[in-house]
Amino acid sequence: MSMSSQDAVHCLGHLLLPTPPGISELYARQAVYRAIAAMDRLIRSLIRREQPISKKRLIDQFPEMSMPGAPRWQTALTRSLGLLENNKEYNSGPSICVSWEGSITESMSTGVQMATLDDEGVPRVRTLGSRGLLHPKGCPNLPVFVFSTDVRMEKAPQMRKHPHVEFVWWFRGSSEQYRFSGVARVITSPDVDLGPAGPIQEDTLALNKLGEQGFDWEKKMRELYDEGDDNGLRASLNRPPPGTRIPTYETAKEWVPEVPKLGHAKDDADRQRQEEGLRNYALLLVEPFEVDWCELALSPHQRTKFRRKGDAWEEWPVVP
């Protein structure tokens, strides 16, 4: 059992390309799903029996399968993120070679559609790029999604006042949709005040545990601030507040085109821009409590609902 979970999913994903003659793509995809499920059952069986390999070795290699384990929707989401057909680079041409890890990174950056409420209770929807998934130590069953934003944008105070949010992740390649309902928390610089937090009904076990374990949010914020410049994120944090009216589009030429990473400032002006950028930067954390997973590539379509009660996840099939 020397193959890693990433290698296994990567190899199974390649079963879809090319599809063997006489075999439909739908049938091939279903075969892959069954193979992944079978692999999961086998590993869990080996963990229970501790044969022919030790439980410790398996848990070291597959930490998400220690008990209580990660919810099944999380395993499915990881698979969806890793499928090459869900990667825009792969879909741009047959000559592009994308690794399993690269496919996950690329797929996560494509964005989700998140709905919030404004001060008047009107729904607002925007696209956010995911910055990853966190768990409290020893709690793979309590995932937290990480996003980032400019704290001066409307969504930051909206989420502070109305923390219940919902977001959708659509994977065109595998025809899957994941809809997450949860509670948001905004992490800002200490000198930023977004006002009082709105009431929540759910017990935010994951976020509370991360706090109890002393998770270093400032370190995480600085790490993601440095990583997020593919689309000019650092420079954007030094512009006027998003949504500010400007005379013409030519005004943008006056803005600073780029800001170096932390520790790479060339002068005091760079350091001041970095400090200002970090003040305007915020993390958006979403702890999910309900998940709705639709598999539209299957025939008939399948839809599964998940709901967290305490630290355990329940699931049941529903009509698509």
In a domain, 72, yes or no: no
pLDDT tens digits along 19-61: 444 444 554 555 555 555 556 555 555 555 554 444 444 344 4
In a domain, 289, yes or no: yes
Instruction: Name residue, tokens 């005004």.
Output: 251
In a domain, 132, yes or no: yes
| Number of domains the chain is built from | 1
In a domain, 154, yes or no: yes
DSSP codes of every residue in 116-178: EE-TTS-EEEEEE----EE--TT-TTS-EEEEEEETTSTHHHHHHHS-EEEEEEEETTTTEEE
Length of the chain: 320
In a domain, 16, yes or no: no
In a domain, 50, yes or no: no
Domain residues for the domain of 198 are: 110-318
Show the tokens assigned to 301: 């379509």
pLDDT tens digits along 130-150: 888 899 999 999 999 999 999
Q: For the chain, list residues with pLDDT below 70.
A: 1-68, 87-110, 228-231
CATH number at residue 292: 2.30.110.10
Structure confidence at residue 276 (pLDDT): 93
Structure confidence at residue 202 (pLDDT): 79
Structure confidence at residue 176 (pLDDT): 92
In a domain, 48, yes or no: no
Q: What pTM does this model have?
A: 0.73
Letter string b/e over residues 285-315, b meaning 16 or more CB atoms within 10 A of that residue's CB: bbbbbbbbbbbebbeeebebebebeeeebee
Structure confidence at residue 69 (pLDDT): 79
CA distances from 19 to 13, 34, 86, 91, 238 (A): 11, 16, 17, 16, 49
In a domain, 279, yes or no: yes
